A and B are shown apart, each in its own frame.
Chain A
Amino acid sequence: MRKRRPVVILSSSSEEDEPAKPTSSRSATAPRKRPRGGAARKGSSASGPRRPRVSRGVEAVKFDRLSADFCEGLEDFHIAPGFQCKQGIELWVDKHRPHLLEELAIQKKKVEEVKKWIEDRVKTPKEDFGVNYALVITGKAGVGKSAAIHVIASEIGAELCEWKTPTPTLWQEHIHNSNLGLPYMSKLDEFESFVEKTRKYSLLQTSNSEGLRKPLILLIDDLPVINGRAAFLRLTKCLTTLSHSTRVVTVILLTEYCKTESGGSPTHHYEELETSLCRAGASKVTFNPITVNSIKRTLFRICQLEGHDVTADLINYIAKSSGGDIRHAITSLQYCCLRPDKYFSAQLSEGISSKIKSENSTLLPLSSIKEGKDAYSALSFPFGRDETLTLYHALGKFLHNKREITDQSALDSEPILLKDSFLRNPLKMDAPEIILSQANGQGRLITDFLHENVLDFISDEAIDDAWLVISYLCEADCLLSNALCPTYPRRLNVKYGSEGIAQSIASSVAARGVLFGNSHPSHSRWHTIRSPRLWQIEQSMGLNKNQMRQETFESYPCNMSEMASEYRPRIKWLNSQTSQDAVALQNPSFYPLKAVDHADDIGSDGLIEDNPSEESEDEIEDC
């Protein structure tokens, strides 16, 4: 936003209409000429100065629609654009920040719990050393953790003392500093020294000001970003000592990262941190995602305050799509209210109504495709939380294969009668294609993972199912090989996008095959999802092949398969025989040879790196 504002000022001034400047100063004028939006203007339009209006109109289309609309909305909203921006527009999230306990959208019970906890601590005599002063609050982003603490503090009349992360050091600054001889201090270092200081001086401070000043609450919200194991251990140590020894009420907020694409590491860290803090004696409160109803209530209240008339449908939709994130819901609402007449025309209401319709319709398997289409169109709305899933989450859904339990009578009413062996209960999830698109899974990846893990999930009796599942995976593999080694030159495929289609068809076949085939899933329990061993095998196979290719041509040219299946075993045998090592060879299980070691060698620096080994230990809870 900050970047954008000066630009807005410039464009609203009359500079644009100035006569064309000499071409030499083009580079200087170009940035100024940028109309509203932050989107970069293409260099091709550098001849702009002569006909600014026209180019502006054309450019506007090219902008990222969202940002353009938002800015336009902002401008239209205010009579005097540009200058007034700062004072006039206040984000509703800030404006309607809760000030009273009643305004909080969080469950009353939780708030009471936290409030009581803090009150107890604030009022207890300081001599009581048995009491622990640390409180950990966890919850997803936007459930109102900080808001709750702020409200409670003002309610109790305590002073909030907050750890604010210092501004990050830029690279240039760092260079500058190191030239001057200043040592670099990471954010973690700074945090550590901060904690150190508060531990040492807090007692002094409070005993000094006892009775005179308001009670103090130390709020640690923004934990420094940690990278790597060592840093994590330092942070944990730091926090645990703090929670051990603090004599001031300390509230630590931990944001629960919903499992995003970034991989398992932050999640792991967060969970570990939480447990270690609890072990150190800190009390813990978890805030659940806010319910749809209370979000709706809040949104209605804001609408009334702002004097906007928004349909109940829209609010309903926003509340549902926000996924329990109230901050997000409010911002969405503000965005919707910007230009109720222009943007939210027929298209939106239509989309919403269809979405609602599809939600009302029962989850029949046949309607799932239609539903899928609706969901896609819903995803294209410019708001709503990003609903990506991790690969592991998606795989878990496919592998666990949860289905509704329906009674036979309901199925009888279906128009198409299938044989019993083909009947399956309706899925307890979205259509597999939607899940795949959310997980952003490539065909190959999905197929390999499913192949590696699916056998664990099939009940031990059902070998027929295993065959069915694997035969579907086979088909997926065939589809993929057509997609990846195309008959046509590759660029042709890219041009028509057929590669992508083949990929997604293959992954859909794989996922649906697994879902359909596994009609007797094994009892649900914890399973570890492994990363495909196939990848390792392929790598070491490649290495072995190369090695063999060299050997082959050294001795005598013959083709690879003969070499592998005829020569090599014999040569190996002969070599071992000469070194008097025959006993081991009698045992056929000696067969695994150094090839496997190869795999480990590459694994540390090779391609497998793309899939961090930690991830493979991810466990998917059966819930």
Chain B
Amino acid sequence: MLWVDKYRPRTLDKIIVHEEIAQNLKKLVSEQDCPHLLFYGPPGSGKKTLIMALLKQMFGPGAEKVKLENKPWKIDAGSRTIELELTTLSSTHHIELNPSDAGFQDRYIIQEIIKDMAKIRPLDAKGKRSFKVLVLNQVDKLSKEAQHSLRRTMEKYSASCRLILCCNSSSRVTEAIRSRCLNMRVSAPTPEQIVKVLEFIGKKENLQLPPGFTARIAAQSNRSLRRAILSFETCRVQQYPFTANQAISPLDWEQYVSEIASDIMKEQSPKRLFLVRGKLYELLVNCIPPEIILKKLLSELLKKLDSELKHEVCHWAAYYEHKMRQGQKAIFHIEAFVAKFMSIYKSFLIATFG
């Protein structure tokens, strides 16, 4: 088992990083009145951990007995029926799913599942607390229509089910949903907090930590606790006992992106663009999300760039990121950004060096 999973706090009391939020949630649940919740924050900040701990707090250990289901859904949408298969993770008290897996038919799935859940109301021993929890991941990836229908169903079935939504950026969730939920901002942990967690793990694992080592991991982790723990573990496998100046290996795809960036800086021609396209394809095949590729590529390029150009390059990156969301095939847009960058950079070089 990975350390990330092994040392994941299971209860709200054990949470180290967002202690305050955890305590508030505990209070909220103990008063029996749980509103819909929307957790948002950057990746690796502990949203999921909070949600799982919260569920345990609400339903007791029953919430941890989950089973994986690949359930086919048959949805009657007016003139035709849609057949979908969706993987869900469910216990007796909650269902967790990734509605954006359903693609552009996500709105049907949301309506249908919530309706389905509302039909069966679980009763506990006291006959009270008759609601189920639906955990929806990546709400920001939902289409506008789906978010709209989510709003309606939220109101209609609020007596029998609670929603816990989870997303990276609340800006892509519609106002209507945000106003119906209690918004929980889960901020990225500070380097100090990360160091604290790493030291906690080190103690549990009986590791000798050289001074400054955890700080270096924290600094490289991009303020993502998950990444910090994962690279901590790789360092452990790589070399133990630790040395103070031990290299922390970057992720292989990040390395690959920086390679692409240096390719772009070296030569600006259609041929080179074609080469870059091939490399981008390799990243995409491995399911690295295109937005992340674009972001990483931009930051790699900015590192090597004259400050004069930075503004313009950022503008175009943002432009193509937007286009990418409108379009269908990400490669077109990433490539357009690369081409634009090449053209800007080339004319800059000509203007400067002749």
Contacts and interface: CB of A to CB of B under 8 A. Distances in A.
Interface of A: 448, 451, 455-456, 458-467, 470-471, 473-474, 477-478, 480-482, 484-485, 487, 489, 491, 533-534, 537, 540-541, 544-545, 548-549, 553-574, 577-578, 585, 588, 590-593, 595-596, 599
A478 B326 contact: yes
B252 A585 contact: yes
B255 A577 contact: no
**Main SS of the interface on chain A?**
helix
A455 B274 contact: yes
Given A477-B327, A491-B79, A566-B251, A541 B287 contact: yes
Contacts of A487: 145
B332 A451 contact: yes
A595 B227 CA distance: 24
B289 A565 contact: yes
Contacts of B125: none
B189 interface: no
Contacts of B268: 463
29 contacts: A462-B270, A463-B273, A465-B270, A466-B342, A474-B320, A474-B332, A477-B328, A480-B327, A480-B328, A481-B327, A489-B78, A533-B281, A534-B329, A537-B331, A541-B287, A553-B87, A557-B89, A562-B44, A564-B286, A565-B288, A565-B289, A570-B234, A573-B249, A574-B234, A574-B237, A590-B252, A591-B252, A591-B286, A595-B285
B261 to A, nearest CB: 13
B230 interface: yes
A557 B48 contact: yes
A533 B323 CA distance: 22
A541 B340 contact: no
B2 interface: yes
Contacts of B328: 477-478, 480-481, 484-485
Contact of A566 (B44, B233, B259, B284): B44
B336 A567 contact: no
Nearest to B285: A595
Contacts of B292: 561, 565
Interface of B: 2, 4-5, 8, 43-44, 48, 68, 78-79, 87, 89, 96, 98, 101, 104, 137-138, 145, 224, 226-227, 230-231, 233-234, 237-238, 249, 251-253, 255-256, 259, 268-271, 273-274, 277-278, 281-282, 284-289, 292, 320, 323, 326-329, 331-333, 335-336, 339-340, 342-343, 346-347
B270 A455 contact: yes
Contact of B2 (A561, A571, A585): A571
**Main SS of the interface on chain B?**
helix
Nearest to B340: A467
A470 B341 CA distance: 12
Contacts of A460: 269-271
Nearest to B326: A478
Nearest to B287: A564
Nearest to B333: A474
B122 to A, nearest CB: 21
A556 B48 CA distance: 10
Contacts of B277: 455
Contacts of A462: 270
